[in-house]
Chain A
Amino acid sequence: MTSTTTTPQSATTAVALSGVTKVYGRGANAVLALDGMSLNVAPGEFVCLVGASGCGKSTLLNLVAGLDRPSGGQIGLAGGANPGLMFQEPALFPWLTVEANVEVPLKLRGLPRAERRERVAELLRTVHLGDFGRKRPHELSGGMRQRVALARTLALDTPVLLMDEPFGALDAMTRDILHDELERIWSERKLSVLFVTHNVREAARLADRIILLSSRPGRIIYSAEVDIPRPRRIDSPEVAAIAAEVTERLRTEVGRHGQ
C-alpha cells in the first residue's frame, strides 16, 4: 500500500478519499486531473461516478486501486483491502482458459489446488458460466467475457469493487442482463462498489448514490441519493426521471467548456 493510504477511522466507510489531487506532468505542461476530491463510500454502498470526458474518472479508480499514486491527499480502504478493478475491456489473459483466468488471483494468494478448483467452480456458477470453464476467452461473446472478468475480480475476495465503464462496449440487451447480475452479486456479497460510467441511465439503474464530476479538472459538483426500490428496471419512469435530472446538470457542465 502507498504511504498515503490509511485505514479509515470510522468503521462505516469502505473507501475514504480526502482531498485527493492528481497532477500529470510537470511545470508548464502539468495537467490537473483531479482537484481535491473528497468522497466516502459506505460498506455495501453502490456509488456511480458520472462525468463527461476528462473528468478523471479512470484516474480516480487507478488511484484507489493502488496502480498509481496521488499527488496529494489521502486514500483509505477499510481493513487495507486490495480492491478489485474491472475495465471496459475484459482484459482476460488470452493464453489461459476461462477457468485458469479465474484461478490466477487464487494462485497468487497461494491457495492449495483443491481449494482453488472449488472456488473457481463456485465463481463461474455465480456468473452463470459453469459450463464454459474449459473455453478460451476468444470463444466467448463480449458479455460472457465480461462475466469471466467479474468472476476473476470476485476471486480476489475483496469487499470493494472498482468498475471502469465495464459494460460500455456491450449491446443494450446484454448490458441490461449484466445490470441484473451485478446487482444480485453486489447484494449477495455485500460489496462496496465504485462504478464509473458516462451512461446516466445506467447510473440511475444501479446506484445508491450518483456523483457528478466536472471536467478538467475533475471535481465533485453534484451528488444525489437514488432511493428507488430494488430490483429496478432501466426503462422504469423513476429511473428515467433521475437520469433526466442528472443529464440536465451534465449538459450544463459540458456547456461550460464550450464558452
Chain B
Amino acid sequence: MASDILTSSARTDAQISGLDALEIAGRDKEVSRGARIWAATWPKLAALTIAILAWQLVVWSDWKPPYSLPGPLVVGRELVAQAQGPQLWEGLLTTLRRAAVGYVFSVTVGLLLGLAVARSTALRAAIGSMITALQTMPSIAWFPLAILLFELSEKAIFFVVVLGAAPSIANGVISGVDYVPPLLLRAGRNLGARGLDLYRYVIAPAALPAIVAGLKQGWAFSWRSLMAGELIVVGISQTSLGAQLTYSRELSDSPWLLSTMIVILVLGLVVDAAFGAADTAIRCRWGVLDQAGQ
C-alpha cells in the first residue's frame, strides 16, 4: 500500500508539472521598453503638432487681430521669457502650495468621511446622499458664500477647494468598500482577520482601485476650484497662476495670458499622468490588464 501511494505520487508529480507548464505557456509577452515608450508617445506628439498647426492656421486666417489671438511662435517666445523671470515661478509656487495644502486636507477629510459613512449605516442614511449632492454642486457656486464668510482671502479659496474635492474622495472610498467581493471578506475572516486586521489585509487593498479613482477625481475638482478661486479672489498680495491670468487679461497682454494657460494645462497633464500611472500599476498587479492590454 505504501509503495502504491509512492508510485501514484510520482505519477502525479509528473502530471502536475506537465499540466502547469501547458497551462501557463505563452502567457509571458515581452515588449522592449523603448518600443513601449515610443508607442505611447508618438500619437501624443502627432496630436500636439496638429493642434499647434490648427492654431497657426486660425491666426493666419486673420479671424481675430494678432493682439487678441497671437500665434504659437509669439506665445512660445513669451513662455521662454516668462520662464527666465521670477514672476512665473513665484506664481507657480503659490498655486502649487495652495493646491497641495488644499488637496492634502481634502484627502484627509474625504478618507475619514468615506470610511465613517461606509462603516455606519446610520451615518450613511444621514449624509450618504448629501455627499453625492455636494459632488454635483459646481464649486464656483460656493464662492459668493466663501467670500462672505472669509472675505477675499486664501481661506476662501481653501474652503472651496476642500468642498470641491472631499466629496469625490469620500465617494471613492464608499464605493470601494461597498464593492469589496463578499467572498474575499469571508476568506479573510476565515484566515483569522477580524476587526482592524480585516480592514488592513482585505478591505483597504480590495478598495484601493476605487479609492485611487476617487483621489483622481478629487484632484480634478480641487484643481478646477483652485483656478476658479484664483481668478476671482485676486488682490491678495501674492501672485499666482490664476491671478496672472486676470492681470494679463486686464492688461490685454494676450501672449502672457496664453503662455500662463499653457503652464496650467501642462501642470494638469503631469498630475493626471501620475494618477494614470498609479491606476495602471494597480490594474497590472490585479491582472485586470492581463490579456486585454495586448
Contact = CB atoms under 8 A, between A and B. Distances in A.
Contacts of A65: 190
A230 B5 CA distance: 8
Interface in A106-148: 107-109, 128-129, 132, 136-141, 143-144
Interface stretch (A48-56, A82-90, A205-213): A82-90
A67 B24 contact: no
Interface centre among A62, A91, A128, A184 (most CB of B within 10 A): A91
B285 A95 contact: yes
Interface in B185-219: 186-193, 197, 201-202, 205-206, 208
B204 to A, nearest CB: 10
Nearest to B190: A85
A94 B190 contact: no
A76 to B, nearest CB: 18
A177 interface: yes
Contact of B17 (A91, A128, A180, A231): A128
Contacts of A96: 205
A156 B191 contact: yes
A156 B16 contact: no
Contacts of B186: 62, 67, 85, 87, 91
Interface residues of B, number: 36
Contacts of A240: none
A177 B286 CA distance: 28
B157 to A, nearest CB: 37
A104 interface: yes
A19 interface: no
Contacts of A153: 190
B90 interface: no
- The contact size tier of chain A is 35 or more
Interface string A55-70: 0000000100101000
Contact of A180 (B8, B202, B290): B8
B23 interface: yes
B280 to A, nearest CB: 14
Given A91-B183, A93-B205, A128-B13, A82 B286 contact: no
A152 interface: yes
A95 B20 CA distance: 22
A67 B20 CA distance: 33
Interface centre among B12, B187, B285, B287 (most CB of A within 10 A): B187
Contacts of B187: 85, 87, 91, 93
A181 B189 contact: no
Interface of B: 1, 4-5, 8-9, 12-13, 15-17, 19-20, 23-24, 27, 183-184, 186-193, 197, 201-202, 205-206, 208, 282, 285-287, 290
